[in-house]
A and B are shown apart, each in its own frame.
Chain A
Amino acid sequence: MNSKHSKDLARLDRRDLSWYMDRLVQAVMFVGGISAIIFIVGIFVFISKEGFSFLFDGFSFTEFFGSINWRPTSENNKTFGALALIVGTASITGMAMLIAIPFSLGAAIYIGEFATGKTRESLKVLVELLAAIPSVVWGFIGLTIMNGVIIQLFNVPVGLNVLNAGVILGLMAAPIMTTIAEDALKAVPDKYREAAEAMGATKWQVIRQVVLPAAKNGLVSAVLLGIGRGFGETMAVLMASGHSINIPGSVFDSVRALTATIAAELGETAVGSDHYGALFTLGIFLFLITFLINLTADLVVRGIKRS
């Protein structure tokens, strides 16, 4: 009996091709699963290593965060004040959110709550198509079309400014925000809606008083991910913002973003110089900000903030 049992087991424990295949796939999937962690740690170590020489040597906290004088190639007095770049990035992202939040939430509510059947499916595909437009194409639209439009419409000296970059970035961030917000709305159980409707609520009352509060966390994280996208976007911002070191007084002022500065200057910087280290310090700063934003979004979507 006992020997028969172990014989049965041995028969089952065949190390044939399928078994090896199974093992192999498991290993590949494991590497795939942890690769994101490996990459993120690797990237952080790399940018920190490159930035540290500057951080410990030429870095001055008050100058970096308190001065707008970004003159990394000056002949007499090199200064590395990133304040204008930080304000530039923040203002463009803020402008972008002013545009993207109403658009994306409106689109998500329409797709999730009103549209049905074919309309709904085709809208979803179209929104995802919008996300597939390369950022350099957006930048080109900003540089050539929007520039002239803004000059004409508002009678301002130059059309490459916060408004231009913000509109472009808003349109770029809207699709991903729409998709996440729509997922959040979809996650609200139908019985909530049915219960509200049974009590005589109109469609708008259901959305405003039942669905939106229930989906709040998902919607907030959609916005946060949009902000993260805004902070990290480079090419379109470089082309549409005017790339000018300036604390903006209005949406018609040109600004310069952190990402655009790195993109424009890193290619011609001598490896190991202060300028090189300063650009990597900007990179560390950007990395930390986007990391924090994404982490917050993740915590919010898990609902930890509620308790």
Chain B
Amino acid sequence: MRTKLNLLSLLVLTLALSACSRDGGSRTVIENKGSDTLVNVAQAWAEAYQTVEPTVGIAVTGGGSGTGIAALMNDTVDIANASRQIKDSERETLMANGHNPVEFVVGYDALAIFLHPSNPIDQISLEQLKAIYGDGGEIESWSQLGISVPGCDSDEIVRVSRQNNSGTYAYFREAVLDESDFKLGSRDMHGSKDVVDLVMNTPCAIGYSGLAYASDEVKMPCVISSAEGGCVAPSVETAVDGTYPIARPLFMYTADQPEGAVATYINWILSDIGQCIVLEKGYAPSSTPTCPAPAM
């Protein structure tokens, strides 16, 4: 009798969640795709959620913010992760398909500047970054910044960037280059981890990526924004309190107002438990949760 009742309730649950169910079986699967910046924390959420709601499976894939939103347009995912805000053109496409996309800020990420450990620079200003990365910027060599980097005999600044449709690339362009173009000739890596790997092995290099990808093998200078005088080091705390100049919100998008399992999942992500996982993974939470054992 008890088994029967369990089966019955499971059936009811399945029917109730059938809107999001992809396999039609007893397990509901939420498809979650998008930003590579968010992929680590999205996987951590998915794993932790298994203990909360074992009947709901969450399939997380990366690929980039654009990929996730494109998948949302094609109705192949339930939730798209993005490290940039949805573009107007993307929103319009979704509206044209009869959707009404909903945005959730699930955390914040500080964009760290990476340098080779032997690089003597401790602080860098947004203006300098713009002159290094921006089209028409005049800084091409380390000596123009008044330093010489041991192991970098050519003195050339090897600019490491991201491929031109990553959310990180778009955010850097928005926050540092004021929407102007990148200088051509940067090494455009295909993932945040590749940026760190290349900078770590190249004395002449400078790169940028989400703080969560930082390793002990690279150096992160503090960043001076042009408005204020102080130099702020990238960290979860400075991203939360807003003093770090290049910190960005991380988003989750659904095609429509979420219902059922998807809504429950997003609410759980925005709850203290979900936000503590954000903190654990090296990002800044969107609220100020009280975590049982602060990991950072």
Q: A residues near B, CB below 8 A?
A: 68-77, 84, 147-148, 151, 155-160, 238, 242-246, 254, 256, 264-265, 267-271
Whether a CB of chain A sits under 8 angstroms from the CB of B27 is no
Whether a CB of chain A sits under 8 angstroms from the CB of B190 is yes
Closest to B66 in A: A268
Q: Which residues of chain A have C-beta atoms less than 8 A from B66's C-beta?
A: 267-270
Does B202 contact A73, Cβ atoms closer than 8 Å? no
Does B158 contact A158, Cβ atoms closer than 8 Å? yes
Least Cβ distance of B21 to chain A in Å?
A: 27
Does A267 contact B184, Cβ atoms closer than 8 Å? no
Q: Which residues of chain A have C-beta atoms less than 8 A from B166's C-beta?
A: 268
Q: Which residues of chain A have C-beta atoms less than 8 A from B165's C-beta?
A: 73, 265, 268-269
Besides A73-B165, A268-B66, A270-B66, 6 new A-B residue pairs in contact (Cβ under 8 A), listed by A number? A75-B181, A76-B179, A84-B184, A157-B204, A268-B63, A268-B64
Whether a CB of chain A sits under 8 angstroms from the CB of B216 is no
A75 to B67 CA separation, bound complex (whole angstroms): 19
Q: B residues near A, CB below 8 A?
A: 63-67, 70, 89-90, 93, 152-154, 156, 158, 163-166, 169-170, 173, 179-182, 184-190, 198, 201-205
Does B163 contact A270, Cβ atoms closer than 8 Å? no
Least Cβ distance of A251 to chain B in Å?
A: 15
Q: Which residues of chain B have C-beta atoms less than 8 A from A70's C-beta?
A: 184
Does A270 contact B67, Cβ atoms closer than 8 Å? no
Looking at the complex, which one of A157, A243, A267, A271 makes contact with B158 (CB distance below 8 Å)? A157
Does A148 contact B180, Cβ atoms closer than 8 Å? no
Does A76 contact B180, Cβ atoms closer than 8 Å? yes
Does A69 contact B190, Cβ atoms closer than 8 Å? no
A157 and B202 in contact, given A243-B187, A264-B188, A267-B64 (Cβ under 8 angstroms): yes
Closest to A241 in B: B187
Does B154 contact A156, Cβ atoms closer than 8 Å? yes
Which of B65, B153, B163 lies at the interface centre, i.e. has the most chain A CB atoms within 10 A of its CB?
B163
Q: Which residues of chain A have C-beta atoms less than 8 A from B184's C-beta?
A: 68-70, 84, 245-246
A243 and B181 in contact, given A148-B201, A158-B158 (Cβ under 8 angstroms): no
Q: Which residues of chain B have C-beta atoms less than 8 A from A160's C-beta?
A: 187, 198
Does B90 contact A243, Cβ atoms closer than 8 Å? no
A72 and B187 in contact, given A267-B64, A268-B63 (Cβ under 8 angstroms): no
Q: Which residues of chain B have C-beta atoms less than 8 A from A271's C-beta?
A: 70
Looking at the complex, which one of B164, B173, B205 makes contact with A158 (CB distance below 8 Å)? B205
Does B180 contact A245, Cβ atoms closer than 8 Å? no
Which of A238, A267, A268 lies at the interface centre, i.e. has the most chain B CB atoms within 10 A of its CB?
A268
Least Cβ distance of A149 to chain B in Å?
A: 11
Can you give 17 contacting A-B residue pairs, CB < 8 Å? A73-B169, A73-B170, A75-B179, A148-B201, A151-B201, A157-B203, A158-B202, A245-B185, A245-B188, A246-B185, A265-B163, A265-B164, A267-B64, A267-B66, A268-B63, A269-B66, A270-B90
Does B204 contact A158, Cβ atoms closer than 8 Å? yes
A71 to B161 CA separation, bound complex (whole angstroms): 14
A151 to B202 CA separation, bound complex (whole angstroms): 8
Closest to B157 in A: A157
Looking at the complex, which one of A238, A242, A270 makes contact with B70 (CB distance below 8 Å)? A270
A155 and B64 in contact, given A74-B181, A264-B188, A265-B164 (Cβ under 8 angstroms): no
Looking at the complex, which one of A76, A151, A268 makes contact with B181 (CB distance below 8 Å)? A76
Closest to A81 in B: B184
Q: Which residues of chain A have C-beta atoms less than 8 A from B190's C-beta?
A: 238, 243, 264
Does B204 contact A268, Cβ atoms closer than 8 Å? no
Q: Which residues of chain A have C-beta atoms less than 8 A from B169's C-beta?
A: 73
A256 to B186 CA separation, bound complex (whole angstroms): 10
Q: Which residues of chain B have C-beta atoms less than 8 A from A77's C-beta?
A: 181
